[in-house]
């Protein structure tokens, strides 16, 4: 295990930034923005499963609420883009504070089931609450200008903003993981009783990690609703929680670059398979089974193992 | 008209029976989950999908082979149980010794595959299954009239729960099962084939889910999503009850069904979320669950 940023990671980071800059010349920008949103979402999720060992099966709640809140304040309160997305992140974080506080009372399997049940509660709330528009969702959300000045109507302008948000989130996650705080998180993952016996208040660390993760998930959701101009029940449904698990598992749990790679592959699969209806679900399930049985380190984990590098 | 807290008594009775029926399904499913978790340390996310398969096998038996409801009550759990055995042998067994989160993810994948395939085949709206002739019509209890089939579901589910409890708590096989749950290697050292027991236990737990599926088939339409919506509530049931106690799972299941039924009468908007609210309260008051042992 290497601590801090390695040279391989620095090289990979430069390569990733270069790809982000070049990609819109090759691929449809809206697709890329979706991948970046999902990449940030999966990165936020990975902070919990990869670095604290907590499997949250309810991350759609924070992502979806972020999406709804950002859409609502942009459409009805006239917030500018950055404030709308930030509002989405803050609500996601607050929800994470409440749910995390409840869920960390139990460990392992129970933790996963509690987060799933709580997120289902949010789903039913969104189905019934007046502000979410029920089955219709919040439609025709305007792309609010950045800082109230820069119009984001053009896809390419928005793309650079989304890329900046993704990179900021990515660097924040990297910083968290490699901070002393992050080291304690890994200690909890490896051996919780020992971390307790060393005098760490494990629950406080878990809760803070949970809130940070939920905050970034909310940011990702808010960004997504700004990109697509719509916030719907899909964003809060448990299948979204499943998808973020899949992206992270596919890319590589506990790796820095895994979530974005997983999001890219997942996004491509979803777009390619969209015409085949429910075969998307079948394929997702098959990938889950394949990853768990034969491929537990994911794409980046396997590549890193092969190259003997921590990515 | 007789009322209780401003609600007509008949409405209350009606929702209470519906609540009992839901409770019966929660109890049967969480029971299976608890038995499987006890021995395999796997939370079977595919439980809802296998419940749905039970209903579809029932439908298929009638429509392809002309085999009716009563036979299906026995055949469908066996068929789905065998499918579970294959699943365990082929996939779940490979996860032995790994973090049990992988078991959750694997069975989640299985659920997605099964549900996706069934949706491709049958669409999302599902297919109808008629109530068997002998169970049609109303049953007059004196103070209320309820459809005979609903009464049957509650009685059949409660009987099945009781039988499972007796099997586990009062028989030699059950004693072995409980021993293997406590300490598998030791039981194996006494000459018991524990891996086979694990496989069969998974099959039996799955069979219980399929049995619930047969009971559910004539209730609404048989559709590919019927298990996915249920399984999350069953998870909440398991969190509330704790998986340490068989009787605890049964009581929690029925109790939550009744609470849900009452909520439908007094605060309909809350009926979808009341189980989760109960879960939150239990987590605050007794974090280990009502019947759970502290970790």
Per-residue pLDDT of chain B (295 residues; tens, 9 = 90+): 567 777 777 778 888 888 888 899 999 999 998 888 888 888 899 999 999 999 999 999 998 998 888 988 999 999 999 999 999 989 888 887 788 788 888 999 999 999 999 998 888 888 888 888 778 878 777 777 778 888 899 999 999 999 998 998 888 888 888 888 888 888 888 888 888 888 998 999 999 999 999 999 888 888 998 888 889 889 888 888 877 778 888 899 999 999 998 888 888 888 888 888 888 888 888 877 788 665 4
A279 to chain B: which residues are within 8 Å by CB? Answer: 116, 120
pLDDT at A156 over 70: yes
Pick among B235, B274, B282 to test the A interface (most A CBs inside 10 A): B235
3-state secondary structure of B61: helix
Do A186 and A58 meet the contact criterion of CB atoms below 8 Å apart?
A: no
Give the span between the Cα atoms of A99 and A283, in whole angstroms. 31
Provide the number of structural domains found in chain B.
Answer: 1
Q: Within an 8 Å CB–CB cutoff, is residue B294 touching chain A?
A: no
Domain with B227, as residue range(s), is 3-285
Domain positions in chain A are: 27-237
pLDDT at A3: 44
What's the pLDDT at B75? 93
Q: Which residues of A touch B37 (CB under 8 A)?
A: 109
In terms of CA atoms, which chain A residue is nearest residue B100?
A: A109
Q: What are phi and psi of B85, to 5 degrees?
A: -60, -45
| Residue B68 domain-assigned (yes or no) | yes
What is the number of other CB atoms lying within 10 angstroms of the CB of residue A89? 27
Please name the member of B37, B104, B295 whose beta carbon is closest to the beta carbon of A112. Answer: B104
Q: Which of B100, B105, B119 sits opposite A278 (nearest CB)?
A: B119
Residues 6+ positions from B187 with CB-CB distance below 8 Å: B176, B179, B180, B194
Q: What CATH number has the domain bearing residue B279?
A: 1.10.3470
- pLDDT, residue A76, reads 86
**Mutating which of B48, B87, B109, B267 best tests the A interface, going by the most A Cβ atoms within 10 A?**
B109
Contacts of A296 in chain B (CB under 8 A): 98, 102
Q: Does the distance separating the beta carbons of B119 and A117 come in below 8 Å? A: no
Cα separation, A113 vs B34, whole angstroms: 13
How far, in Å, are A110, B202, B231, B249, B251 from residue B238 at the CA level?
9, 17, 10, 7, 11
Torsion, Cα B141 B146 B149 B152, to 10 degrees, reads -40
Determine contact: B280 vs chain A, CB below 8 A. Answer: yes
Q: Is B12 among the domain residues? A: yes
Q: Does A130 touch chain B (CB under 8 A)?
A: no
DSSP element (H, E) containing A199: none
Q: A191-198 long-range CB contacts below 8 Å, 24 or more apart?
A: A192/A107
Residue B170 contacts A, CB cutoff 8 Å: no
Indicate whether A4 pLDDT > 60.
no
Residues with Cβ within 8 Å of residue B78, at least 6 apart in sequence:
B207
For residue B295, the model assigns a pLDDT of: 44
Report the percentage of chain A scoring pLDDT > 70.
98
CA distance B190 to chain A (A): 30
What's the rounded Cα separation, in Å, for the pair B190 and B175?
13
Q: Is position B292 within any domain?
A: no
Count other Cβ atoms within 10 Å, centred on residue A285.
Answer: 25
d(CA A242, CA A256): 20
| Polymer length of chain B | 295
Closest to B111 (Cα-Cα) out of B200, B198, B51? B51
Which residues of chain A are within 8 Å of residue B238 when distances are taken between CB atoms? 113
Distance from CA of B247 to the nearest CA of A (A): 19
Residue B295 placed within a domain: no
Tell me if B105 and A102 make a contact (CB, 8 A cut-off): no
pLDDT single digits (tens) A245-300:
999 999 989 888 999 999 999 998 888 887 887 888 898 899 889 988 888 888 88
B255 is a domain residue: yes
B119 touches chain A (CB under 8 A): yes
- Token pair in block for residue A54: 């907590």
Hey, how many other C-beta atoms are within 10 angstroms of the C-beta on B45?
A: 26
Put simply, whether A117 touches B (Cβ < 8 Å) is yes
Structure tokens at A164: 């900046």
What pLDDT, on a 0 to 100 scale, did the predictor assign at position A1?
A: 38
Distance set, CA A86 to CA A68, A165, B288 (Å): 12, 11, 36
The residue among B222, B218, B236, B229 whose CA lies nearest residue B275 is B236
Q: CB distance A118–B276 less than 8 Å?
A: yes
| Residues 6+ positions from B24 with CB-CB distance below 8 Å | B153, B154, B157, B158, B212, B215, B253, B254, B257
Q: Quickly tell me which residue has 């000459």 as its tokens.
A: B191
A122 touches chain B (CB under 8 A): no
* Count of beta carbons in the 10 Å neighbourhood of residue A54: 26
Q: Which residues pair with B222 in a beta bridge?
A: B127
B143 CA: distance to closest CA in chain A (Å): 35
**A32-78, pLDDT tens digit by residue?**
999 999 999 999 999 999 999 899 999 999 999 999 999 999 888 88
């Amino acid at each position: 295990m290497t601590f801090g940023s390695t040279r391989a990671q620095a090289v990979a980071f430069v390569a990733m930034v270069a790809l982000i800059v070049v990609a819109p010349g090759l691929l449809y920008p809206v697709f890329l923005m979706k991948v970046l949103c999902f990449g940030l979402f999966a990165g936020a999720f990975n902070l919990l499963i990869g670095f604290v060992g907590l499997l949250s099966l309810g991350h759609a709640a924070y992502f979806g609420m972020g999406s709804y809140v950002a859409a609502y304040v942009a459409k009805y309160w006239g917030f500018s883009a950055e404030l709308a997305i930030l509002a989405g992140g803050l609500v996601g974080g607050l929800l994470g504070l409440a749910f995390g506080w409840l869920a960390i009372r139990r460990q392992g399997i129970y933790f996963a089931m509690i987060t799933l049940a709580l997120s289902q509660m949010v789903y039913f709330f969104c189905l019934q609450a007046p502000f979410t528009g029920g089955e219709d969702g919040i439609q025709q959300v305007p792309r609010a200008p950045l800082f109230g000045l820069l119009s984001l109507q053009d896809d390419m302008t928005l793309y650079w903003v989304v890329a900046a948000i993704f990179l900021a989130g990515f660097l924040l996650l990297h910083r968290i993981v490699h901070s002393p705080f992050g080291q304690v998180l890994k200690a909890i993952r490896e051996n919780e009783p020992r971390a307790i016996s060393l005098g760490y208040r494990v629950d406080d660390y878990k809760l803070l990690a949970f809130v940070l993760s939920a905050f970034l998930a909310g940011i990702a959701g808010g960004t997504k609703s700004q990109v697509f101009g719509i916030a719907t029940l899909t964003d809060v449904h448990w299948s979204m929680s499943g998808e973020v698990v899949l992206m992270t598992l596919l890319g590589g749990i506990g790796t820095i670059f895994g979530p974005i790679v997983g999001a890219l592959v997942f996004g491509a699969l979803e777009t390619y398979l969209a015409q085949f209806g429910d075969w998307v679900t079948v394929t997702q399930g098959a990938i889950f089974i394949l990853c768990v049985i034969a491929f537990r380190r994911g794409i980046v984990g396997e590549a890193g193992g092969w190259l003997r590098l921590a990515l | 008209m007789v009322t209780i807290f401003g609600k007509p008594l008949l409405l209350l009775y009606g929702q209470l029976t519906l609540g009992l029926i839901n409770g019966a399904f929660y109890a049967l499913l969480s029971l299976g989950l608890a038995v499987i978790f006890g021995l395999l340390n796997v939370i079977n996310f595919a439980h809802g999908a296998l419940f749905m398969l039970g209903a579809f096998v029932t439908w298929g038996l009638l429509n392809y082979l002309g085999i009716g409801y009563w036979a299906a009550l026995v055949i469908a759990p066996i068929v789905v149980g065998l499918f579970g055995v294959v699943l365990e042998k082929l996939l779940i067994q490979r996860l032995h010794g790994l973090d049990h989160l992988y078991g959750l993810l694997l069975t989640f994948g299985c659920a997605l595959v099964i549900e996706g395939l069934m949706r491709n085949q049958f669409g999302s709206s599902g297919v109808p299954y008629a109530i068997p002739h002998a169970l049609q019509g109303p049953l007059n209890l004196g103070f209320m009239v309820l459809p005979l089939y609903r009464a049957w579901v509650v009685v059949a589910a409660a009987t099945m729960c009781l039988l499972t409890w007796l099997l586990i708590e009062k028989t030699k096989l059950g004693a072995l099962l409980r021993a293997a749950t406590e300490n598998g290697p030791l039981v194996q050292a006494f000459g018991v084939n524990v891996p086979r027991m694990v496989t069969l236990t998974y099959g039996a737990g799955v069979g219980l889910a399929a049995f619930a599926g047969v009971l559910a088939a004539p209730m609404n339409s048989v559709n590919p999503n019927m298990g996915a919506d249920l399984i999350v509530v069953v998870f909440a049931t398991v969190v509330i009850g704790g998986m340490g106690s068989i009787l605890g799972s049964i009581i929690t299941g029925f109790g939550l069904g009744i609470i849900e039924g009452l909520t439908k009468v007094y605060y309909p908007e809350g009926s979808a979320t009341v189980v989760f609210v109960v879960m939150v309260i239990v987590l605050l008051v007794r974090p280990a669950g009502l019947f759970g042992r502290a970790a």
